Amino acid sequence: MIGLGEISAAVRQARRTTPNVVADVLSEAIVRGILKGGVQLRQDALAAEFGISRIPVREALRKLEAEGLVTFHPNRGAVVSELSRTEVQEIYEIRVLLESKALRLAIPDMTDATLQRTEAILRLLDKATDAVRWIELNREFHSTLYATANKPRLLQLINTLRTNVDRYVHIYISSLGNREAAQREHRQILEACRRGNQEAAVRALEQHLARVAAGVATYLQQETGSTLAPLAEAIPALAVDRGTRADGKA
């Protein structure tokens, strides 16, 4: 049907059949492109493949719906969500605003332990070869930086938006060159955090997100043939639009 052999194998390896595990496996299948946008997710077929009842499958699909990965249609049931270029662009516009705020709030309370943990994640990212593992560590890097903001609802919103676009980031980050560029930007962000320079850190973060957004948008343009707006127009929150220099001075 939709690569269910790989999905069920992952479930058996997990040795659990809870709705959360089913949701996690389906989410990874979506990120990896095994389950593509527009694919119908039949509850009876999934339940049969997993060897469980339809109830935990239904709960898992509702969880994915809340994360924006699945859409329920009156006549088709659950379907893997599809995002247009415009929708992805909007998600990144919102992410720039929210993540910049989170980082700005977090920097004053960052400890040496936080910075050391973040550096350790970067070293793991240097060694990561699997794109999905790279995305997981990338999420952990950013989440660790933002954690001291102590704004759980803000961080939950950021995670939900990130989950929405991870499947496209997976394609983008599969290129080694893109990973290397992202790592350089990660270290620029971390170095500014070490110095306690909020403006420099936020600017580096905004430029990092803008570059990834441009890469993802380019992929979607190739898929759909759409014309893209310039990134400076698409993401007005970019520091460059505010005339802020990389050293944090106006």
Q: How many CB atoms lie within 10 A of CB 72?
A: 12
Q: Which CATH superfamily is domain 85-242 in?
A: GntR ligand-binding domain-like (1.20.120.530)
CA 67/CA 28 separation, integer angstroms: 13
* Separation of CA 171 from chain center: 12
Is residue 197 classed as helix, strand or coil in its secondary structure? coil
CA 41/CA 35 separation, integer angstroms: 9
For the full predicted model, state whether its pTM sits above 0.85: no
Domains 4-80 and 85-242 alike in fold: no
Per-domain boundaries in the chain: 4-80, 85-242
* Separation of CA 100 from chain center: 15
107 DSSP 8-state letter: G
Query: How much of the chain is helix, strand and coil, in % rounded to 5?
Result: 75, 5, 25
CATH architecture assigned to 4-80: Orthogonal Bundle (1.10)
pLDDT tens, position by position, 153-184 = 999 999 999 988 988 888 888 776 788 999 99
Q: Provide the residue-wise pLDDT of the chain in tens; the chain has 250 residues.
A: 445 565 556 555 555 557 888 888 888 888 888 888 888 999 998 888 888 889 999 999 999 998 889 999 888 889 998 888 888 889 999 999 999 999 999 999 999 999 999 999 999 999 998 888 999 999 999 999 999 999 999 999 999 999 889 888 888 887 767 889 999 999 999 999 999 999 999 999 999 999 999 888 877 777 654 333 333 343 333 333 333 333 333 3
Burial zone of 228 (CB within 10 Å; 0-12 exposed, 13-18 middle, 19+ buried): middle
pLDDT tens, position by position, 86-110 = 888 899 999 999 999 999 999 999 9
